[in-house]
Structure 1
Amino acid sequence: MSFAATLFRGYIFGNAALLLILTTLMWGGNTVAGRLAIDEVSPMAVVALRWFIVSVVMVSVTLPRLKAEWPLIKAHLGRLSLMALFGFTGFNSLFYVAAHRTTAVNLGIIQGAMPVLVLIGAVLAFGVRVRPLQVVGILITLAGVAMVAAQGDPDVLLHLSINPGDGIMLIACLFYAGYTLSLRNRPQVSGLVFFAVLSVVAALTSIPGLFYEHAVDTLQWPTFQGWLVVLYIALFPSSLAQIFFMRGVELIGPARAGVFINLVPIFAAGLGILILGEPFHAYHAIALVMVLGGIWLSERKTEKK
C-alpha cells in the first residue's frame, strides 16, 4: 500500500473531526457553486446532471452489495422514492432556484437553521420532549433566520415583503428536514447502498424538471464553467462529503457528528465573501450568532443527557 493510501486510511479516514470539517466545508462551498452556476447552467439542469453523475459513481462502487441487498430495498422502494424526491430532488431544485435570487451568505445562514427545524419536526411527528432551554434555542434560531429574510429590517416582515430567494430556501429546508426525520425508520441496508439507491431515484425524478425548463424556454446546458460547477457539486458536496459524513458518524456517533453541521453557515458566509465578493452586513453577523447560539442551546441538554 502506498504512503498516500496509508495516510488517507490511517489518519484522514480515521479522524472524525477532520472528516466532518471537510464535509461541512464542501457543503458550504455548495452555496457558492449555486451562485456561480448563474448564467452558466440552469437550475434543473444542475440537479439532473448532479444526480446522474452521482448515481453512476455510486452504483459502480456498490454494485455487488446493491445486488445482495436488493430484496430488502425492493420491499421499501416506495418509501425510498419519497425520501429521494423530497430530500434530494426537491431540496436541491429549490436550493438552486433560490441561489439565482439571493446571496450565498443568506443561503448558508438559512440552511444553518435546519437542525432546529428537524427538532421541531421530531416534536410534532414523534412526540419528542423538549426542555425549556431547547425552546429558547429554537426561538433564537428562528429569529436569526427571520432577520436574514427581512434583511435586517423588521418593517419588511411586518409588510410580508421577504426576498423570494430566501423564502424558497426556507421551503427547501423544510423538505430536507422532512427527509432527515424519515431517516429514523429507514430500511436497514448499508449506508453506501442506501445513498446509491436514493441517488438513482433522484436522477430519475429530476427529469421532469428538465422538461419544465424546456417548455418555458429556460433550459440551459452547461458552458465550460457550468460543467466545472456541476462536476464540483457532483463529486464533492454530493459524493465525497456524504461518504465523509457517514464515516464521521460511524466514528463518533450521530449526536456528536451533527454538531459539526453548525459550521456550514460559517463556511458558506466566508466563501461567499472571499470568492464572490458578497457584502457582509451587520445583520448577517447578528443573525449568524443567533442561529449558531440557538442551535447550541437547543442541543446542549441533549448532549449532556
Structure 2
Amino acid sequence: MRCSMGYRGGMSRLAANLLLLLTAFMWGSAFVAQSTAMSSVGPLVFTGLRFLIAAACLAPFAWREARRHRGAPVSRAHMGMFVGVGVVFFLGIALQQSALVVTTVTNAGFLTGLYVVMVPFFGAALFRDMPHPAVWPASLASLAGVYLLGGGHMDGLNWGDGMLIICAVFWALHVVLVGRVGMSSGRPLALAFAQFSVVGVLALLPGLVFEGVSLAGIKDIWLELFYTSILSGGFAFTLQIIAQRWTKAADAAIILSAEALFAALCGALILGERLDAMGLVGCGLIFASIVMVQLAPLITRRDRYASPPPGL
C-alpha cells in the first residue's frame, strides 16, 4: 500500500523515519536534564510533573482531533488499549528515571539500549511482524555502537542496573504497541494524551506519598521540567506515535537508538566533552545501522513505503 505524504492521507516511510530521528535527537539532548533534576526532586515526582504538563500542553490538539472525528469517537476497546500503552510506558520511564539515581550514565545508556534487539523478537512473537533481514545485523551493530559510545566498559553493576534491564523490556513493548495501537485507532493525539495522563497520575500519586515535594524544589528544576515535558516529552513522544504508524517497529527501534549518539554530540557541543576513538567508532556503528535499515528495503525493492499494520 502506497501512502502519500500528509497527516490524513499517510506518510512516506522516509518521512516517518526522519521524524523518528528528530525524536531521538530531542530524547538524547534531554538526558542531562533528566539527571540533574534528581538533585531537587524524587524520580517519581519529576516523572509525574513532567508528563502531566505534557498532557496539559497536548490537550487542545487532542480536542481538535476529537472534533474532526465527532462521528467516530474512540471506542471502549481502543480506550482500554490507550490505558494499557500508558501503563507499559509508565513502567519503562519510572524504572529508567529511578535507576539514574544509583547507576552510571554509561550503564544506563547501554542497558536501556537492549530494547533495540528485543523489539524485532517481540514484534515477531506478538504480531507475526517479520522485519526485513537487514534489521537483525543492524540491531546488533546499533547495540554495539551504544556500548562503545559509553566507553566500551561497564562499571560495577548494582540493583539500578537490574532495573534498567527490566526497563528495556517495557521500552521494547512500548515501541511495538505504539505503532499498532496508533494505526488501528487512527487517533495518534488521543493515544499520546492518554498515555501522558496515565504516566503522570501513576507517577505523581506515589511520588507525593513516598518522596514528597516542595515549591522550592520545583522552582530549582523549572528549566529541566520545561524542556523534558514540552519538547522531549510531549512533542517528541507524540512525534514517535505519529511516525510509527508508517514504519516498522524494528526499524523504529534502531533509529531511536540514535538517542545515545545525539546525547554524546550535545555533550560535545554544549558541555565541551570530547569523544575518544572508541566513542567515534560507536557513533559510526549507530549511523551505519540507521542507514542500513533505511536503504536495504529500497535496494531489494521491498517495503518502499511501509503499509499500515493490520488492526489488532
TM-score (norm 1): 0.72
Counterpart-to-counterpart distance in 2, 1:100 and 1:276: 21
Counterpart-to-counterpart distance in 2, 1:284 and 1:165: 24
Q: 1:243 to 1:270 in 2, by over 3 A?
A: same
Q: Residues 205-243 of structure 1, C-alpha deviation per residue, up to 9 Å, x if partnerless?
A: 2234315xx43xx44443423122112111101122245
Q: How many residues align?
A: 278
Please list, as runs of the form range in 1=range in 2, the aligned pairs for 1:12-161 lying within 5 A after superposition: 22-63=22-63, 65-66=65-66, 68=70, 71-87=73-89, 89-104=90-105, 107-108=108-109, 111=112, 114-129=115-130, 133-144=134-145, 152-153=152-153, 161=156
- Unpaired runs of at least 5, structure 1: 1-14
Larger mean Cα displacement after TM superposition, 227-236 or 164-173: 164-173
| Cross-structure match for 2:4 | none
Please list, as runs of the form range in 1=range in 2, the aligned pairs for 1:153-302 lying within 5 A after superposition: 153=153, 161-162=156-157, 164-186=159-181, 187-211=184-208, 214-215=209-210, 218-221=211-214, 222-245=217-240, 253-254=246-247, 258=252, 260-275=255-270, 280=275, 282-294=277-289, 296-297=291-292, 301-302=296-297
Q: 1:62 to 1:269 in 2, by over 3 A?
A: same
Q: 1:189 to 1:33 in 2, by over 3 A?
A: same
The alignment-based identity, stated in percent, is: 22
The amino acid across from 2:180 in the alignment is N
- Unpaired runs of at least 5, structure 2: 1-13, 303-312
Counterpart-to-counterpart distance in 2, 1:163 and 1:293: 32
Counterpart-to-counterpart distance in 2, 1:280 and 1:19: 26
TM-score (norm 2): 0.70
Is the 1:104–1:269 contact (alpha carbons within 8 Å) kept by the matching residues of 2?
no
The amino acid across from 1:190 in the alignment is R
Q: 1:82 to 1:278 in 2, by over 3 A?
A: farther
Kindly state the Cα deviation for residue 36 of structure 1 after the two structures are TM-superposed.
Answer: 1.7
Q: 1:146 to 1:62 in 2, by over 3 A?
A: closer
Q: 1:201 to 1:109 in 2, by over 3 A?
A: same
Is the 2:179–2:244 contact (alpha carbons within 8 Å) kept by the matching residues of 1?
no
